Chains A and B, each alone.
Chain A
Amino acid sequence: MTTYGSADVGFLLADGYTLLGDSTKLNDHKEALMEDAGVLGEAWPGFKALGVTKYNLSQKGFYDDAVDQTHAALVGMAGADRVLVLGYASNVQSRPFVGVAGALNISYDRQIVRLALTKAEAEYLANGFVEEGIIQEALAARDTTPAEGASIDGGFQAAAVTITSSSVANPTVITTATDHNLITGDVVLIAGHSGSTPDINGPHVATVLTPTTFTIPVNVTVGGTGGTSTRISNRGGAGYLEWTALALGGYTDVTVKIRDSSDDIAYSDLITFTNASGTRGAERKTVAGTVDRYTQAVWTFNGSGSSESITFMLGLVRN
């Protein structure tokens, strides 16, 4: 059981402003629109989902006009798109976070009540989709050394599905015990499957037939049983960078990247963010194709200087 409390909230950042210090209540809400589809002659009408969802995040807390706090973040920004991230499960690498690319700050409400501290409420609507990912680098101050973070084993995005059998066919048909949730073109890793000729354990591109069957391009002459099939992340993803403080110390700017690797040895650049040079900021950047199992952050202060420091958080979403 993995539960969290209010003390576990790690960060709430919008365009590099930290909004957590004044918050007492947060509610992130997503909803599927649906319509009553009942017709004449039906005693119990049915509903249908429209295939459209909406998201909003509401924030309540104390009014705070200190530099870089809630008031500074919200006072002039009503109606503007923001990059917003919420770390609801601790500010720790590999923990989950919510990312919103186009968080439209639609309201900022200051509430004055007799005999009480002045309160503030804000609401954000997602101008687009909301994503759930993992924290690649927790929000913290960093300088040139070290210039790379610890690697994360992202494992495989989807849970393993039990294989019932592989058929004698070309291509062989893999039957799973439960819905495999694949789409044609997904890459799956088969492990622990036994008895087939040839051995089909390893990565393969899947072609979906039904919710519980798919083919892989292998000519199987003796069928096998058992094992698992796990989808490898190959539908791309997105990276979220939020920096809340930057002291260049004479350097020109900072380059932050996420790199990936299939073996945790040889890494290549996956996402390169626009160089950071302002006091604070945020960016979401997408990537297509395969996101390898292991990921790592690297950051470089460009130029020369001294006493440099950047405080940032990095998140990765796998589709």
Chain B
Amino acid sequence: MTTYGSADVKVEVDNDADSLVDISAYVLTIGGVKKEALSEEVTALGEAWFKHLATGVFSMPEIALAGVYDDTVTVTPYALFGSNADLGDTRTLKVTFGGTKSISTETLVKSWDRQISKGEKTKYETVLQPTGTPEEA
């Protein structure tokens, strides 16, 4: 059994020069990296148990990255997602879970949030919408 924890994870995103940059140090939570096979419920008359069929179409739901807001203009999430020009732009997201296994997908920058709460550090949250076929390595 080979398991991994948060200390083994690497989160990379490509910048305007199409180079992957490691933003792991700025990510506190990553909202799940999920793949779904779309199915349709086809329970017919006379069947007591629900029946589903795969449609052959797949999807990846939105992925939310969140952490402490840092406006240093280099490799931080602010530099990659925070400007108005970044919204709707494409970014390659690569998550390495530990060891050699990773998933890489093209995404669109859907949203950018700054969250200010009493007694807390200001946080950011960016939501990326995967688009197209992800690559598993």
- What is the chain A residue whose CB lies nearest that of B121? A5
Known: A43-B57, A43-B58. A31 touches B73 (CB 8 A): no
Would you call B108 and A129 a contact (CB within 8 A)? no
Would you call A4 and B122 a contact (CB within 8 A)? yes
Chain A: interface size category: 35 or more
Would you call B16 and A31 a contact (CB within 8 A)? no
Chain B: interface size category: 35 or more
* Inter-chain contacts of A130 with B (CB < 8 A): 84
- What is the chain B residue whose CB lies nearest that of A95? B71
Would you call B108 and A32 a contact (CB within 8 A)? yes
Q: A117 at interface (Cβ–Cβ under 8 A)?
A: no
* Inter-chain contacts of B134 with A (CB < 8 A): 44
Would you call A34 and B129 a contact (CB within 8 A)? yes
* Inter-chain contacts of A132 with B (CB < 8 A): 83-84
Contact code string B104-126 (vs A, CB < 8 Å = 1, else 0): 00001111111111111110000
Would you call A5 and B17 a contact (CB within 8 A)? no
Known: A3-B68, A3-B70, A4-B69. A30 touches B87 (CB 8 A): yes
Q: Which of A19-27, A262-270, A274-282 is the contact stretch?
A: A19-27
Docked Cα-Cα span, A49 to B121, in Å, equals 31
B contact set with A: CB distance below 8 Å: 16-17, 56-59, 68-73, 83-84, 87-89, 108-122, 127, 129-134
A contact set with B: CB distance below 8 Å: 1-6, 8-9, 24-32, 34, 38, 42-51, 53, 88-89, 96, 129-130, 132, 159, 177-179, 181
